[in-house]
Amino acid sequence: MKKMIIKGGNRLAGEVTIGGAKNSTVALIPAAILADTPVQFDTVPDILDVHNLMIILESMNVKSSFTHGVLDVDPTQIIEAELPSKAIKSLRASYYFMGALLGRFHRATVTFPGGDNIGPRPIDQHLKAFMALGATVSEDNGTVHLDAPQGLHGARIFMDMVSVGATINAILAAVRAEGTTVIENAAREPEIIDLATFLNNMGAQIRGAGTDVIRITGVQTMQSMNTHTIIADRIETGTYLSLAAAMGDGVMINNVIPEHIEAYTSKMIDMGVDLQIGIDRIYVPTVHDLKPTIVKTMPYPGFATDLQQPLTPLMSRAAGESRVVDTIYPKRVKHIPELQKMGMDISAQDGSILVRQSQQLRGADVKAAEIRAGASLMIAGLMAEGTTIIHNADHILRGYDRIVWKLNRLNADVAIEDED
C-alpha cells in the first residue's frame, strides 16, 4: 500500500486538465472484448483500475498496451480462462466482465468483485437482467456462474431500482443477443451514453442511452473502425473545483463538460463561488465568503453521490451549518472520523451528515477507506496547517489520473511513498 504525504497551507494557482472518466473507462475496457477487431481508446486516465483491468485482459490472452493516454486492446485471440481473483477483488467494476463474457461466450465465471467499501451494493439487478436474457445463474463461495447454452435472446428488463452497474451489464450482455432488448428504468449517466456511443460506432444498435428506456437490437459482429475518445471525468472535475474554491488564488480547469456537473456547480454558486463557466473549461477565482448549503444525492442528473465527500471540506469553510443527505449510499460516512481527527466539525446524525464552520484544520495521520473518502481527506490536507499523511492512498490512485503531478503543478506539496 501507498501513503500520500501533504504539506498543507499552500495557496493553489494555475491550470489543470481533467482526464478521461474513470466510470466510463472501467466499463469500456470490458466492453472491448465484444469486438471482433482490435480497439483503441484515447484520453484514458492513468489510474490503478486501468492497470488492474489490463491484468484481467491478459489472463484471457487479450493483449493490451497503454502509453500517453492511449490504450490499445486486441481481443482477436481471446480465450476463456479463469480470471485472476486478486485483480477482480481489487475493483468493483470488474463485474462488467460478467456481461461482456456472457455476451461473447454465452457463459462466464467471475469472482464476486471488491472495490470501495461504501455499504451494501448488491448485484441482484445484474443477475435478474442476465436471467431475463436467458442465462442461468448460480453462486458459490463468492463466485458467480453464468450459462446460456442456447444463446441469449432479447427481453424486456425492468430495473427495480436505478442502477448504473446493472444498466451497463445488461447492455453488454444484450448487444450480441438475438432479437430486441428493452431496458426500462435504466440509469441515465453520461458514462452510459459514452459506452453506447463506443458500441454503436462498432455496429451495435442501441437507442435511448441517456433516457430511462434503452432499446437494443442484437448484432452478430462488432468491428472497431475509429479511436474512441473517452469523455471527461465529471467526478475529477468536481474534486478540483472544490479544492480550487477552498485553497485557490485563481485556478483554470480544462477539458470539462459543464452539462455533466450542473447539479454540482449550481450548489457551488449558491455557496458563493463565482464560477466562470465556459464551453469546455471552468475558472475558479479566489473565494472569500461562503454560505452553507444542503445537498441531497440523487441519480443523474441529480447531485452525484461520488461528489458529496469532495465537497465536504469546502462546506467546512462556510459560515453556518451545511447538510448532506446521501440517498444512494447512506452508509458513505467513513471519511467523517478521519476528518474529525483533522479538526473538522462534522458528524452524522439521523441519516444526514452535518458540517459546521471549522476555523483551521490541522495535519494528522488518517486513512482513506475508499476513493472519494480519500479525495475529501486530500482536499482537507491541502487546507490544513502542517503535514497530513493519508494511509491506504491506493484508493485515491485508483480514481484520480496523475494526481500528485497535477496537484504539484498547482503549487501543492504532495508526495506518494510506500508504506513502511
Binding site members: 22-23, 92, 121-125, 306, 328
C-alpha dihedral, 330 to 361 to 396 to 24, nearest 10°: 60
**From the candidates 36, 42, 74, 116, which is the catalytic residue?**
116
Pairing between β-strand 345-349 and β-strand 248-254 as defined by DSSP bridges: unpaired
| Residue carrying the nine cell digits 453521490 | 305
Residue type for position 178: E
Cα separation, 32 vs 149, whole angstroms? 22
C-alpha dihedral, 172 to 256 to 241 to 26, nearest 10°: 20
Q: Widest CA span of the chain, in angstroms?
A: 65
User: On the CB side of 29, how many CA atoms lie within 13 Å of its CA?
Assistant: 29
Residue 206: name the closest of 165, 154, 150, 254 by CA: 154
C-alpha dihedral, 162 to 164 to 167 to 172, nearest 10°: -170
Answer yes or no: are the C-beta atoms of 22 and 91 closer than 8 Å.
no
Class of residue 364 by CB neighbours under 10 A (exposed 0-12, middle 13-18, buried 19+): buried
Residue 394: name the closest of 49, 31, 14 by CA: 49
For CA atoms 17, 116, 213, 31, give the dihedral sign: positive
Helices (H) and strands (E) in the chain, counts: 14, 23
C-alpha cell at 78: 481471446
User: 184-218 burial string, b = 16+ CB within 10 Å, else e?
Assistant: ebbbbbbbbbbbbbbbeebbbebeebbeeebbbbb
Count of other CB atoms within 10 angstroms of residue 302: 14
What's the full length of the chain, in residues? 420
User: On the CB side of 223, how many CA atoms lie within 13 Å of its CA?
Assistant: 2
Alpha-carbon 384 to chain mean position: 26
Say whether 116 is catalytic: yes
CB-based contacts of 157, cutoff 8 Å, min separation 6? 128, 129, 132, 133, 170, 181, 182, 183, 184
Active site (catalytic) residues: 116
